[in-house]
Structure 1
């Protein structure tokens, strides 16, 4: 197998200074291909096998070149689907607001779709119970409605989010169709639940294999984990969620006031 640090130039790549890694030349060639062929945002690149044959290099070299382009946000990968050209990363004004994830994107005329994974009455997780200030035990006052969804923007998975709402505040929510509706719009219009402020915690995490599959990314792709507790005007805890956000497609805009 060819060493990815090999300095021999594959056919069709520009000349470079001695000792430049081979993957760097392949990366440059892929950039030129994207530019010269006018490959647009979200369009697929040739497969790894096709790139190996095109540049006469090993798969190790091609993968390193693609990984560098992912790191530089030029392309993104979808698990089992290949590599795609990334568009300009947008800013999602989310962290500094109590609006839902889709609110700002709908204002930008993006196509938002949702895949519901879980929608049920359940015993809350330890974190949800703590943040929602629910009593311990298995009684009705301790139950929550759990809703887990994958949100997609223009057909591309961007967010995996797990909501918990005290069941007593939203009776019947476990049966409300949510595939095509904003979660927060349902809470406001159907249950009169209004958020006035929220506390949020953010950290970088690595996805599990299942989470990576749901978001269409490689298991080695880092994500932002966002934990949130929303409060009513009276200061009651009314929603807890844990979300995983793909920052290879968008950055989060934070405003502190």
Structure 2
């Protein structure tokens, strides 16, 4: 029960109680929490207090409202650091969800001028484009569009096909090593916010105009030879990223 004589405000106490109940599985993602009236009666507090607690949890992304239907538990966001690489399957498994990767495309396409420069191939050359969809419990989370020099791309695409057949979740980072005989030595990345157009929204099962976090990466071998140019598009309602920075 909530305590009136406690230094923590009542609405904050209710927030902590509801968070604990969600973490313990009492309220599941996409399922409703009790109504405002129900919470008022259960905890003997005012509707203003309940609304203040719910508003805070909506702002932090723990809950969301459906017009005319009530307040629901939001799916947990994947909280991923930007300093070290963590593979897709481990990230999803750590949240207790089932990771799946689907190959959406494996094509040899002409390289445009920018791609040729990034991958250090002739301007009239070709690249292998590998498109992957990463899912958690069958919900799309991230779309990978990767471009490789063709010889390397073919080897990695074969490994990707094997993993898909065997039901092994992966991102392109997991394809390096033994299959290719190459390990990335470093990666240059850029993070930006974009909005989903119609094709991307349909693929990711979100509304057109929804927030997307896009990380553009250039993977380099130990000798600084370019290996891969990748665009990874993460659902804004499914991911958040963090980084620790030091003052100089």
1:130 is paired with a residue whose SS is helix
Matched residue, 1:154: 137
Question: Which structure 1 segments of 5+ residues have no match?
Answer: 1-30, 46-67, 78-82
Give yes or no for the alignment of 1:168 onto 2:151. yes
CA 1:135–1:69: 2 relative to 1, 3 Å:
farther
| 1:128-147 matched pairs, under 5 angstroms | 128-137=115-124, 142-147=125-130
Aligned mate of 2:106, from 119, 131, 135: 119
SS at match of 2:141: strand
User: Structure 1 pair 136/196, CA: closer, same or farther in 2 (3 Å)?
Assistant: same
| Structure 2 match to 1:97 | 84
CA distance in 2, matches of 1:113, 1:76: 26
**1:248 — aligned with what?**
237
For residues 37-52 of structure 1, what are the structure 2 equivalents within 5 Å? 39-43=27-31
Which of 164, 183, 188 aligns to 1:194? It is 183
**Number of the residue aligned with 1:208:** 197
Q: 1:69 to 1:104 in 2, by over 3 A?
A: closer
Deviations 1:102-127 (A, max 9, x none): 44444565421012111122223444
Cα RMSD (Å) of the superposition?
3.2
| Contact 1:170/1:191 (<8 A) preserved | no
Consecutive aligned runs of 4 or more in structure 1 exceeding 6 Å deviation:
68-71
Measured at CA, do residues 173 and 196 of structure 1 come closer, stay the same or move farther in structure 2, by a change above 3 Å? closer
Q: Please give the alpha-carbon distance, in whole angstroms, between the structure 1 residues aligned to 2:237 and 2:214.
A: 14
- When residues 125 and 215 of structure 1 are mapped into structure 2, their CA distance, relative to the original with a 3 A threshold, is farther
What CA deviation, in whole Å up to 9, does each residue of 1:68-100 have, x standing for no partner?
9976524579xxxxx96313434123x323454
Residue correspondence of structure 1 range 43-62 to structure 2 within 5 A: 43=31
Q: Secondary structure at the match of 1:115?
A: strand
Question: In structure 1, how many angstroms separate the alpha carbons of the residues matched to 2:233 and 2:64?
Answer: 17
Distance change >3 Å, CA 252–CA 228, structure 1 → 2: same
Count of residue correspondences = 191
Counterpart of 1:238? 227
* Match of residue 74 from structure 2: 86
Query: 1:145 Cα deviation (Å)?
Result: 1.8
TM-score (norm 1): 0.63
TM-score, with length taken from structure 2: 0.65
1 or 2, which has the higher strand percentage?
A: 2
